[in-house]
């Protein structure tokens, strides 16, 4: 996956916002896996993946319906951002 920037977090959280709270964690993990797959595809074929984009988290998120950007103190939006950050952390934790 390409480097994660603030816009990537926003887009990914907006992709989670329309979903039921119970499915946000798994979809957050799926978005990251899709961005990783797209980046591998981009490096191999020198073009964006048709379903997952160009290897950024934002591109993977934008393949889904996005909610409008809410205020940063919106509890549901904070929950979505939390799940994105948690999924990113999970990708960097060593397996014990």
What's the pLDDT tens digit per position in 43-67?
Answer: 999 999 999 999 999 999 999 999 9
CA distances from 43 to 1, 2, 54, 57, 90 (A): 10, 11, 9, 16, 24
Residue-level pLDDT at 94: 72
Residue-level pLDDT at 96: 61
Distance, C-alpha 89 to centroid of its chain: 12
Confidence of residue 91 (pLDDT cuts 50, 70, 90): confident
pTM: 0.93
What would the mean pLDDT of 17-44 be, rounded to a whole number? 97
CA-based nearest residue to 58, from 8, 24, 14, 10: 8
Q: Which residues of 36-75 are buried (b: 16+ CB within 10 A; e: fewer)?
A: bbbbebbeeeeebbeebbbbbbbbbbebbebeeeeeeeee
């Amino acid at each position: 996956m390409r480097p994660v920037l603030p816009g990537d977090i926003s887009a990914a959280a907006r992709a989670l916002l329309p979903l039921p709270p119970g499915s946000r964690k798994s979809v957050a993990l799926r978005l990251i896996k899709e961005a990783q797959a797209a980046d591998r595809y981009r490096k191999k074929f020198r073009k964006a993946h048709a379903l997952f984009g160009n290897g950024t988290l934002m591109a993977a998120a934008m393949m889904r319906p996005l909610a409008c950007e809410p205020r940063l103190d919106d509890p549901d939006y904070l929950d979505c951002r939390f799940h994105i950050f948690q999924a990113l952390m999970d990708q960097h934790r060593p397996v014990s």
